[in-house]
Amino acid sequence: MKKTAGIILKTVLPLALGVYLIWFFFDSMTPEVRKYFYKALREANYFWVFLSLLLSFFALLSRAYRWKYLLEPMGYKTSLWNRYHAIMIGYIVNLTIPRAGEASRAGMLYRSDGVPFAKSFGTILAERVFDLMMLFSVVLLASFVGAGDFWKIKGLIEAKFSANPNSAATLQWIKWGIIGLVVLAFAVVFLIKKIRDKLIGFVKGLFAGVLSVFKTKHPFSFIGHTLFIWVSYVVYFGICFFALPETSGVPPTGMLLAFLAGSIGITLTNGGIGVFPLVVGLVIDYYLKDQYGDQAWGIGCALGAIIWSSQTLLIIVLGALSFFLLPKNYSKDGEIRTDQE
Rounded average pLDDT over 209-213? 56
Nearest to 246 by CA among 309, 204, 295: 295
Q: Are 73 and 215 in contact (CB under 8 A)?
A: yes
Which residue would you say has higher pLDDT here, 324 or 28?
A: 324
Residue 176 has pLDDT above 80, yes or no: no
What is the pLDDT, as a whole number, of residue 240?
Answer: 95
Q: What is the pLDDT of residues 19-52, one digit of tens each?
A: 656 656 666 666 777 788 888 889 999 999 999 9
In this structure, what are the phi and psi dihedrals at residue 249, rounded to the nearest 5 degrees? -90, 0
Beta-carbon count within 10 A of 92 CB? 21
What is the pLDDT, as a whole number, of residue 6?
Answer: 52
Which residue would you say has higher pLDDT here, 246 or 174?
A: 246
Average pLDDT, the chain: 77
Which are the contacts of 148, defined by CB distance < 8 A and separation ≥ 6? none
Q: Which of 28-37, 51-60, 297-306 has the lowest mean pLDDT?
A: 28-37
What is the pLDDT, as a whole number, of residue 210?
Answer: 53
Q: Tell me what percent of the chain is helix, strand and coil, each rounded to the nearest 5.
A: 85, 0, 15
Rounded average pLDDT over 208-235? 81
Q: Are 238 and 259 in contact (CB under 8 A)?
A: yes
Which residue would you say has higher pLDDT here, 169 or 313?
A: 313
Whole-structure pTM value: 0.77
